[in-house]
A and B are shown apart, each in its own frame.
Chain A
Amino acid sequence: AQTVTQSQPEMSVQEAETVTLSCTYDTSENNYYLFWYKQPPSRQMILVIRQEAYKQQNATENRFSVNFQKAAKSFSLKISDSQLGDTAMYFCAFLTTSGTYKYIFGTGTRLKVLA
């Protein structure tokens, strides 16, 4: 069974600084997708970034980038130039594509950006 592990329950970062959130996963599949979602306080969860496992190049979306290490089954999220609006719960997710299309989420990391 696939699992997703986020080992950092809470983190904080100063505004304008860089922070990295870690995520590891376990799977025997070769083709899958990885995502980072964020849930700001009292708001809906939204997609931050997505990575296809078959792509070697790390995904980037403006200030958000990932470090995808397929062999190590690691998928960390780097937030550069942190802003107050980045304060949120961040969830790492794995999408299996064999049989059923089921997203598996981690326990989340609560990130607080400090002014």
Chain B
Amino acid sequence: EAGVTQFPSHSVIEKGQTVTLRCDPISGHDNLYWYRRVMGKEIKFLLHFVKESKQDESGMPNNRFLAERTGGTYSTLKVQPAELEDSGVYFCASSQLFTGELFFGEGSRLTVL
């Protein structure tokens, strides 16, 4: 069974540009989470999808971030326009149950110059 996959694994862009990160969760997992980790800091919650609906987007930093989950399958996280402080590793995770084990992707490292 395929795990959670994220693309791209690493993206380097200039300030003001746009980047779209993609996450393919494990098939059948209704719950999909986006997290971000800045070097040396905690893994910070961004948002939680249940199927195609946003259950909780309280962690989204500002309106430069837009997340979607088409048909309850894969999800995209777009940052437009990117700022220096957006640099970090963006993790996607999925789970079958609300209280179940989270399965993580390898992360997408974003570097904004």
Question: Chain A residues in contact with chain B, CB under 8 A?
Answer: 4, 9, 33, 35, 37, 39, 42-47, 50, 91, 95, 97, 100-108
Residues of B within 8 A of A97 (CB): 98-99
A50 touches B101 (CB 8 A): yes
Residues of A within 8 A of B7 (CB): none
B45 touches A104 (CB 8 A): yes
On whether A105 and B33 interact (CB within 8 A), knowing A33-B99, A45-B104, the answer reads no
Question: Chain B residues in contact with chain A, CB under 8 A?
Answer: 3-4, 31, 33, 35, 40-45, 48, 55-56, 58, 91, 93, 98-99, 101-102, 104-106
Q: List 10 A-B contacts (CB under 8 A).
A: A33-B99, A42-B106, A44-B3, A44-B105, A91-B43, A100-B48, A101-B48, A105-B44, A107-B40, A108-B43
* Interface residues of A, dominant DSSP: strand
A46 touches B104 (CB 8 A): yes
On whether A103 and B99 interact (CB within 8 A), knowing A44-B3, A91-B43, A108-B42, the answer reads no
Q: Give chain A nearest CB distance to B69 CB in angstroms.
A: 16
A46 to B104, CA, bound (A): 7
Q: Give chain B nearest CB distance to A92 CB in angstroms.
A: 10
On whether A101 and B35 interact (CB within 8 A), knowing A44-B106, A107-B40, the answer reads no
On whether A103 and B3 interact (CB within 8 A), knowing A4-B42, A45-B91, A108-B42, the answer reads no
Residues of A within 8 A of B45 (CB): 102-105
A44 touches B104 (CB 8 A): yes
B105 touches A47 (CB 8 A): no
Among the interface residues B41, B42, B56, B102, which one has the most CB atoms of the partner chain A within 10 A?
A: B42
B99 touches A101 (CB 8 A): yes
On whether A102 and B56 interact (CB within 8 A), knowing A44-B3, A44-B105, A108-B42, the answer reads yes
B102 touches A103 (CB 8 A): yes
Residues of A within 8 A of B42 (CB): 4, 105-108
Residues of A within 8 A of B91 (CB): 45
A50 to B101, CA, bound (A): 8
Q: Give chain A nearest CB distance to B75 CB in angstroms.
A: 16
